[in-house]
């Protein structure tokens, strides 16, 4: 299985990440939730959703909290004790531990972030990595897989709440905008699209045709 997995994405291990934040600016606005959903591959090369690591996160010191963003996420009090929130450094270390374990089992060399509007999630992930001075991140710093683009291509939809039903997947708007729920639904969507591509014959690739220059020449055409 590890050989199949490592070959599928050129040695990259896809990890679905979703963040809930107190604004749009990764440098100044607080990270409030982060979830990482891991995937596995069966003996036929099909992706399956494995497990999710989730944490509520305490705002870093001096973080900006946009009131509109707090209302949108429903996290009106980021310091509420029943959130059982932990600091950014602790949350990231726990997620990285799970990612490295999954990456090793898959025979991959590096993790790659998969997200719905991946640039947003990757921006916040990279900001937290820098802010907490993580020395070794398993994630590629700028390459990502965006399910917004994949869903537009495969399903004609770009919004997660519409792409999931188009793929035959359940989506509950009442549960949305929680990092663990959105990460798991994004993971299901990603697996569906990748597996559908395989079902349609798009993967594995056919053996490359013999290079024309190295192919035997028809001597009957020689001058």
> Does residue 221 sit within a domain?
no
CA dist 1 and 19 (Å) reads: 30
pLDDT tens digits, residue range 101-160?
999 999 999 999 999 999 999 999 999 999 999 989 999 999 999 999 999 999 999 999
- Number of independent structural domains in the chain: 1
* 76 has pLDDT over 90: yes
Q: What percent of the chain has pLDDT over 70?
A: 93
> Does residue 171 sit within a domain?
yes
140 is catalytic: no
Task: Share the mean pLDDT of the chain.
Answer: 95
CA dist 116 and 110 (Å) reads: 20
Q: Are 148 and 157 in contact (CB under 8 A)?
A: no
> Is pTM, for the whole model, over 0.85?
yes
pLDDT of residue 219: 53
Range 26-40 average pLDDT: 99
> Does residue 26 sit within a domain?
yes
Of 25-34, 94-103, 157-166, 214-223, the least confident: 214-223
Of 19-28, 48-57, 202-211, the least confident: 202-211
> Does residue 216 sit within a domain?
no
> Does residue 206 sit within a domain?
no
Range 209-218 average pLDDT: 57
| CATH number, domain containing residue 182 | 3.30.420.10
- Is the dihedral angle over the CA atoms 181, 85, 74, 66 positive or is it negative? negative
Would the annotation count 180 as a binding residue? no
pLDDT of residue 223: 46
Q: Which range of residues forms the domain containing residue 116? A: 1-200
Would the annotation count 182 as a binding residue? yes
Would the annotation count 20 as a binding residue? yes
> Does residue 218 sit within a domain?
no
Q: How confident is the model at residue 208 (pLDDT cuts 50, 70, 90)?
A: confident
pLDDT of residue 1: 64
pLDDT of residue 207: 84
Pairing mode, strands 47-56 and 139-146: unpaired
Q: How confident is the model at residue 213 (pLDDT cuts 50, 70, 90)?
A: low
CA dist 205 and 9 (Å) reads: 12
> Does residue 207 sit within a domain?
no
State the first-to-last Cα distance of the chain, in angstroms, to the nearest integer. 53
Q: Where is 52: in which H helix or E strand?
A: strand 47-56
> Does residue 83 sit within a domain?
yes
* 221 has pLDDT over 50: no
CA dist 56 and 76 (Å) reads: 13
Q: What percent of the chain has pLDDT over 90?
A: 90
Would the annotation count 18 as a binding residue? yes
- Of 116, 140, 177, 192, the catalytic one is 177
């Amino acid at each position: 299985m590890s050989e199949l997995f490592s070959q599928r994405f050129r040695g990259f291990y896809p990890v679905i990440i979703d963040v809930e934040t107190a604004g749009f600016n990764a440098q100044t606005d607080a990270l409030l939730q982060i979830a990482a959903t891991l995937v596995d591959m069966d003996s036929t090369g099909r992706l399956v959703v494995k497990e999710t690591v989730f944490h509520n996160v305490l705002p870093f010191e001096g973080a900006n909290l946009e009131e509109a963003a707090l209302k949108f996420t429903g996290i009106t009090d980021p310091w509420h004790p029943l959130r059982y929130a932990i600091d950014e450094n602790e949350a990231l270390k726990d997620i990285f531990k799970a990612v490295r374990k999954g990456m090793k089992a898959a025979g991959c060399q590096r993790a790659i972030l998969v997200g719905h509007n991946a640039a947003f999630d990757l921006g916040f992930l990279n900001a937290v990595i820098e802010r907490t001075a993580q020395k070794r991140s398993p994630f590629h710093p700028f390459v990502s897989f965006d399910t917004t683009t994949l869903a537009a291509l495969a399903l004609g939809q770009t919004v997660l709440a519409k792409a999931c039903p188009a793929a035959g997947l359940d989506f509950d708007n009442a549960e949305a905008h929680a990092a663990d729920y959105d990460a798991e639904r994004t993971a299901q969507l990603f697996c569906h699209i990748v597996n559908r591509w395989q079902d349609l014959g798009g993967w594995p690739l056919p053996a490359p045709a013999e290079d024309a220059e190295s192919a035997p020449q028809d001597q009957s055409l020689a001058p």
